[in-house]
Amino acid sequence: MEYDMIEIGSKVRKVLPKKRFWHTVGVAYTAADMALIFGENQTRALVAGLLHDCAKYLTAEEQLAECIRHNLPVSEIEQKHPSLLHAKLGAYYAKKEYGVKDEGILSAITWHTTGRPEMTVLEKIIYLADYIEPMRNQPAKPSLDEIRKLCFTDLDRAVYMVAWNTLDYLKSENTPTDPETEKTLQYYAQIAAPNNE
């Protein structure tokens, strides 16, 4: 195995709060199961899952400061809602502090919060596993268990459902949405929404 999962897992365990660490483990194993179904490499899925929130121990302000310090681009919405930055900062740490060179793993970490149009299989898997891992229990339409099943049968349809629910939630909270989140919904609605919607 190219990656030492025990080493990576132990290191994230040290930096992340307890609950966040176990969420990470849930994402890793959910992603590895989905990888098996959809012909993706299970090790890549485990590594991306374990590291997807590795910058989440920092406050929003610290994430912004870290991005500026490392010259990572910060968009207008990220400036206003810097907690969005944990995704691209996480990819940066995955590379620099955990030695991940696989660009596919790094992009799955980068896009796990907003998604994007035309995601790779690994990107879709991490985006979805983050939403459905067993410890999540947010309300969703259809139910979270229905979406969980869809994640093992139809990735594009599942991305559409998750993007729809995410935007619905953000709008209900009056939280401004990242244009990438909007683009994700538009794209997956086009290719995977049922005809009657």
Which spans of this chain sit near ligand DGI (rule: CB under 6 A)?
A: 23, 53, 56, 81, 84, 112-114, 130, 166, 170, 175-178, 181
130 binds Fe ion (CB under 5 A): yes
Nearer to Fe ion, 74 or 193 (CB): 74
Distance of CA 21 to the CA centre of its chain: 14
Which of ligand DGI, Fe ion, none has residue 75 at its interface (CB below 5 to 8 Å by kind)? none
Nearer to ligand DGI, 13 or 81 (CB): 81
| Interacting span for Fe ion (CB under 5 A) from 34-42, 60-68, 125-133, 161-169 | 125-133
- What tokens were used for 12? 């994230």
What is d(CA 56, CA 100) in angstroms, rounded to the nearest whole number? 18
Helices (H), 39-120: 42-51, 60-69, 76-80, 86-96, 103-110
- Residue 26 dihedral angles phi and psi, to the nearest 5°: -60, -45
123 binds Fe ion (CB under 5 A): no
What is d(CA 98, CA 91) in angstroms, rounded to the nearest whole number? 10
Q: How far is the CB of 130 from Fe ion (least distance, A)?
A: 4
What is d(CA 170, CA 173) in angstroms, rounded to the nearest whole number? 5
Which of Fe ion, ligand DGI, none has residue 107 at its interface (CB below 5 to 8 Å by kind)? none
| Interacting span for Fe ion (CB under 5 A) from 101-109, 129-137, 157-165, 183-191 | 129-137
